[in-house]
Amino acid sequence: MKKVALIDTAHWHVPLYLEALERAAVEVVGVSDPTGTTGTALAKRFQARSFETCEELVSQVRPDVAFVFGRHIDMPKTANFLLDQGIPIAIEKPCGIRSADVRQLAEKASRQRAFVAIPFIFRLSETMDVFRNAEALGRTDHASFRFIAGPPSRYLQAGNPWMLEREVAGGGPLINIGVHMVDMFRSLSGSEITTVSALSTSHINNLSIEDFIAITLKSASGTIGTIECGYTFPSAPGRQREFTFSVRAGKRFLRSINDGIDVVTGNETGVEQEFLPVEFETDLYYAKFVEHVLEALEKKTPTIADFGDAARVLEVVEAAYTSAAEGGRTIHLSN
């Protein structure tokens, strides 16, 4: 039975992992929480030991794998420590607030051939399965994504006020939510992103982070993408966000509609239309991520994403923030 540690658990995604861990054939042996807000209750739930720091936990209860959460700014330090200890890591995105720090982690993990898993959860989604099937007919020509989440107050309610501080979180909805869209665009384009431009605003919520940002991307393959994300959706019970997209791939045009994807395919006689039911509730994919991590660890198979993927996504995020700060100037990335 694998021994699991939960590291720096004052993070709003932690509850999305717990039921999957309870179902799995694992033993949660330790919980660390420097904030003192969540660790005791989680340790009681799993009949595990509670610690203040990751270092204290590892020194007393060595896990077989660590699920790492915490503040964005603290993630590189924690990850470096666990790599030094030779402990497999499943760590929340964005893994840091500077791409240079995450690139250093990628190089270190590569040298060590370490086990690292990043929850770019759309790689496990039904949506991505549909995109992959569409790509079989040809490359992706263009893609547009909108993910507008609820207001910043939800992070205060979740006990994560640091998410609203640029110096600690690294930014707002782009570094938090938009990273998933950037990763999807990378996957769909089949090549690295070469140019980035962006415009953002922070006048709605008047915080140091952006409340809305729109970015335009171009990949080395010539694929064009747009991403819009924000903390501006007026959340209510049962309505938490807007998530929409459209993708042109080969002869197919795919667009999100209620409860699924509308697929329009061009052919010699006109067009064919098909509706594919798809689960768009992204929170559900964190349980799949837990299952994926434990299976990959057991079978020694590759994970869906690693520090290299996170570093490349964060480079795009940094470029977008630079562009937005400079009025939308196009940033050229070297790959």
State how far the Cα of 107 lies from the Cα of 191, in Å rounded to an integer: 20
Flag whether pLDDT at 137 surpasses 60: no
Query: Is 244 found in the same domain as 162?
Result: yes
List the CATH number of the domain containing 34. 3.40.50.720
Q: Using pLDDT thresholds of 50, 70 and 90, give the confidence band for residue 146.
A: very high
State how far the Cα of 117 lies from the Cα of 217, in Å rounded to an integer: 26
Question: Hey, CA dihedral for 280, 324, 215, 184, is it positive or negative?
Answer: negative
**pLDDT per residue as tens digits for the range 111-121:** 999 999 999 99
50-59, 122-131, 284-293: least confident range = 122-131
- What's at 256, amino acid-wise? S
List the CATH number of the domain containing 176. 3.30.360.10
47-56, 66-75, 123-132, 301-310: least confident range = 123-132
Query: Is 135 found in the same domain as 26?
Result: no
Range of the domain at 15: 2-120+287-305
Flag whether pLDDT at 171 surpasses 90: yes
Would you state the pLDDT for residue 202? 95
Would you state the pLDDT for residue 1? 84
Segment 55-59 long-range contacts (CB within 8 Å, at least 24 positions apart): 55/81, 56/32, 57/5, 57/7, 57/30, 57/31, 57/32, 58/5, 58/82, 58/85, 58/87
State how far the Cα of 317 lies from the Cα of 171, in Å rounded to an integer: 9
